[in-house]
Structures are given as structure tokens and as C-alpha cells.
């Protein structure tokens, strides 16, 4: 485990080097341990694939006893100490969620790019993408945006060198070895291969997102007609 500063108000706790389920479990467990009881000065904890980031307020840390010139070391020691002696926390079991996706026409502007680099036909890409079961590693980047793991290696496609300024809501994309869904219109650099009519962000509910870290996801190909029908009904 390595702890690295991310600027002057956050520390990255690194729990692995690769995207895999074992690292995911370590991240989830470290996150739960750190979140179980507040740490002095820590304002927010954010889990990702291989890291938990602890955001903190240096002023609060000093008020809690950190020496002014050694805030990072002081806080790192406390993070390590907590992870070495984790408090007992309840385990939460993820659910299986099916997501309908239309892989046609303007919903899939980069399907050809992904197919070409995989040396597959677009139909084969869709078949592979829907056959796989994915794990929600984290939710982030945009409200309700799930980062999904489990993408077949052959479909991995590098991000665009220059991100699009606007990606439409519901777009399903591939960025490197990751696949995910854009819940609202936002800039983004991933290859877009389809679109879902489901709302992934539901601010009036708690939790405010359809998917949470630890959930399993399967995509189901739908026609343009079904997409429009579901979108109208949503």
C-alpha cells in the first residue's frame, strides 16, 4: 500500500496496480474501514479502481494536532494505522442489473472504430459486449456514471486524443480497457458504441444513482423502436 499526495488537500491510498476483482475488494474494504469512523481533518473519501482518495482540510488537520510542516506524514500515519486495525463493518452484496442498449446508427458513432481495431464486425462487437457480465468498480466522473470492469480484452480501444465537448446522455462507451455509461450530457473521450434509455442519475432518491460500486451489470441489445418507446415511457 502506497500513500501519495494529490495536491495540497488530498491523499491517494493505492491498493493495487491493475483493474481486477481482488483489488476491487481491497479498495471496497479499505474504503469501508476509513469511512466507518471519521479521521481527523478528512472531509471525503472517494474509491476508484485501485485507489481510495482521502480529501482533507489542512486547517482542520492542524486543529486536530497535525504539525503544520508535516500534515501529509501525520495524516498518512493515521490512514495506515486505521487500515492495519480496521473496525468491523457490515458487508453489502451487489445486485444484478440489466441495461437495455441500442447499438444502432447515431447512437453508436464509434462502433466502427472499435470493430476495426478488434478486427471484428460491428455485429460481433455487439454480441461480445452483451454476452459479458460486468462489475461496477466505481461510480464517478459524472453523476451516476458507472465504471464497469470485465470488458473482453479484444474490445479495448484507446480514448480519443481530444475528448468530445459533448457526449449525449445514455451513451455507452469504451475507454481503454474500461466500459461505462454517460448518465448526462458531458464532455468525454471514450468511444461511443450505443445508448441506453434508462436514467442512471436519480437525484430525488437515495442513493441517487441506479448503480452502485459492487453491482453486476449485463447489457441487452434493443432496437431503435424499443429505445424510443422506453425513452418516452421513462
- Shortest Å distance, C-beta 145 to other proteins: 5
C-alpha cell, 215: 453491482
Tell whether residue 174 is a contact of other proteins (CB under 8 A). no
Which residue in the set 109, 122, 168, 176 belongs to the binding site for other proteins (CB under 8 A)? 176
Distances in Å between the Cα of 140 and the Cα atoms of 13, 59, 211 are 17, 27, 11
Least gap, CB of 151 to other proteins (angstroms):
13
Q: Which is nearer to other proteins, 31 or 219 (CB)?
A: 31
C-alpha cell, 140: 464517478
Q: CB of 41 within 8 A of CB of 24?
A: no
Residues that contact other proteins, how many (by CB under 8 A): 60
Query: Contact between 100 and other proteins (CB under 8 A)?
Result: no
What's the CA gap between 192 and 157, in Å, rounded?
11
Residues sharing a CB contact under 8 Å with residue 133, sequence separation 6 or more, in sequence order: 150, 216, 217, 218
User: Residue 150 interacts with other proteins (CB under 8 A)?
Assistant: no
In the region spanning residues 125 to 144, those forming contacts with other proteins, defined by CB under 8 A, are 138-144
CB under 8 Å to 34, separation ≥6 — which residues?
Answer: 13, 42, 45, 52, 54, 79, 82, 83
Q: Which is nearer to other proteins, 75 or 193 (CB)?
A: 75
Q: Are 160 and 148 in contact (CB under 8 A)?
A: no
Residue 187 contacts other proteins per CB under 8 A: yes
Give, as ranges, the residues between 29 and 88 that touch other proteins (CB under 8 A): 43-51, 53, 55, 58-59, 62, 68-72
Contact mark string toward other proteins, 6..25, x via CB under 8 A: xxxxx-x-----xx------
Nearest-approach distance from CB 184 to other proteins, in angstroms: 6
Whether the CB-CB separation of 83 and 1 falls below 8 Å is answered with yes
What's the closest the beta carbon of residue 123 comes to other proteins, in angstroms? 27
- Cβ neighbours for 221, distance < 8 A, ≥ 6 positions apart: 100, 101, 102, 103, 126, 130, 194
Residues that bind other proteins (CB under 8 A): 4-10, 12, 18-19, 43-51, 53, 55, 58-59, 62, 68-72, 138-145, 147, 158-159, 161-163, 165, 175-178, 183-187, 189, 201, 203, 207-209, 213
Amino acid at each position: 500500500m502506497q500513500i501519495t499526495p494529490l495536491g495540497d488537500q488530498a491523499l491517494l491510498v493505492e491498493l493495487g496496480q491493475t483493474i481486477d476483482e481482488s483489488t476491487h475488494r481491497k479498495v471496497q474494504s479499505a474504503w469501508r474501514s476509513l469511512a466507518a469512523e471519521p479521521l481527523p481533518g478528512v472531509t471525503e473519501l472517494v474509491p476508484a479502481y485501485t485507489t481510495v482518495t482521502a480529501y482533507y482540510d489542512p486547517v482542520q488537520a492542524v486543529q486536530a494536532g497535525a504539525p503544520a510542516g508535516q500534515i501529509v506524514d501525520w495524516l498518512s500515519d493515521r490512514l495506515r494505522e486505521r487500515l492495519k486495525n480496521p473496525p468491523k463493518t457490515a458487508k453489502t452484496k451487489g445486485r444484478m442489473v440489466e441495461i437495455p442498449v441500442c447499438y444502432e446508427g447515431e447512437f453508436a458513432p464509434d462502433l466502427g472504430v472499435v470493430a476495426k481495431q478488434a478486427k471484428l464486425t460491428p455485429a460481433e462487437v455487439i454480441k461480445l459486449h452483451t454476452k459479458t457480465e460486468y462489475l461496477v468498480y466505481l461510480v464517478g466522473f459524472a453523476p451516476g456514471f458507472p465504471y464497469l470492469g470485465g470488458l473482453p480484452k479484444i474490445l479495448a480501444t484507446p480514448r480519443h486524443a481530444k475528448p468530445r465537448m459533448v457526449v449525449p446522455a445514455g451513451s455507452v462507451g469504451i475507454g481503454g480497457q474500461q466500459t461505462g455509461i454517460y448518465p448526462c450530457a458531458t464532455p468525454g473521450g471514450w468511444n461511443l458504441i450505443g445508448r441506453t434509455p434508462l436514467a442512471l442519475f436519480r437525484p430525488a432518491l437515495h442513493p441517487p444513482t441506479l448503480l452502485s460500486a459492487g453491482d453486476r451489470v449485463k447489457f441487452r441489445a434493443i432496437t431503435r423502436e424499443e429505445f424510443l418507446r422506453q425513452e418516452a415511457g421513462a
